[in-house]
Amino acid sequence: MRIKTTRQQHILRIKTSIRWLLYYLLIFLSFIIMTSGTLYKPILLVPLAIGIAINNNIYGSAVTGAFCGFLIDICCGKLFGYNAVILAFFCIAANLVFELYLKNRFINYLMITALVSYIQCWLDYKFYYQIWDYENVGRIFVRVSLRVWAYTVISSFFVYLLIKLVNKLLMPKEHLTIEEAINTNIQTENKR
C-alpha cells in the first residue's frame, strides 16, 4: 500500500465527489428514460443501484438503493417506499456478498442483477396483480413481468460498462495517510 499525502487526499476527495455526482447523473438519466414513452421498458435503476453498491461502501450503497427505489416507485406508480425498501435491502446484501465472497467481475454482477430484478418483478406481480386475483392474471407475469425482467438483464450490460467507465476514471486506489500507516505498524508490532 502507498502512503497518501495531503495533496493526494485532496484529489481523492474531489474525485470521490465527482464520481458520486456522475452516479447520480446516471440515476437521473435512467429515471428520465424510464418515465418516457408508453412501451415496456427495463427497470434501469435496478442494475444501476446494484452496480453502484458493489463498488462502494455499504452506507452509500444503502442510500443509493433507497433513492433508486423511491424513483422506481414514482415512475411505476407503486406505493411510495415499496421499491425503496426492496432495493436498499438488496444493495446492502450485494455489497456484502461482493465484499466477502465474490470477485468484482461482470458475470457475478450479471447474476446478482438478474436475481435481484427477478425478485423485484416477481414481488411486483405478486403484490400488485396476483393478490387481487384478476382473470388471466398469469398473462401479466409472462407478458409484462418476465419481459421487463429480460429487458432489465440485457440493459445491465450497458449499465455495467458505464459504471466501469466512471470507476476507471474516478475510483481512487487504496491509500493510507502517514498517521494511518504508523498506527497500522504499531498495531502489527503490538500483536507480535
> Toward another protein, which CB reaches closer, 19 or 41?
41
Q: Is 68 a binder of another protein (CB under 8 A)?
A: no
Dihedral angle computed from the Cα positions of residues 174, 177, 178 and 179, in that order, rounded to the nearest 10 degrees? -130
Q: Is 154 a binder of another protein (CB under 8 A)?
A: no
| Residue closest to 45 by CA, chosen among 58, 34, 36 | 34
Indicate the helix (H) or strand (E) that contains 16: helix 6-35
Q: Are 164 and 54 in contact (CB under 8 A)?
A: no
> Toward another protein, which CB reaches closer, 6 or 77?
77
Minimum distance between the CB of residue 23 and another protein, rounded to whole angstroms?
21
Q: Is 38 a binder of another protein (CB under 8 A)?
A: yes
Sign (positive/negative) of CA torsion 53, 94, 81, 44? positive
What are the backbone angles phi and psi of residue 176, rounded to the nearest 5°? -130, 145
What are the backbone angles phi and psi of residue 44, rounded to the nearest 5°? -60, -25
Q: Which of 4, 41, 65, 90 binds another protein (CB under 8 A)?
A: 41
Q: Interface residues for another protein in 5-34 (CB under 8 A)?
A: 34
Using CA atoms, how far apart are residues 92 and 116, in angstroms rounded to an integer?
Answer: 12
Q: Interface residues for another protein in 134-153 (CB under 8 A)?
A: 134-137, 139-140, 143-144, 148
The site map against another protein for 163-192 (x = CB under 8 A) is ------------------------------
Q: Which residues are near another protein by CB under 8 A?
A: 34-38, 40-41, 43, 75-77, 132, 134-137, 139-140, 143-144, 148
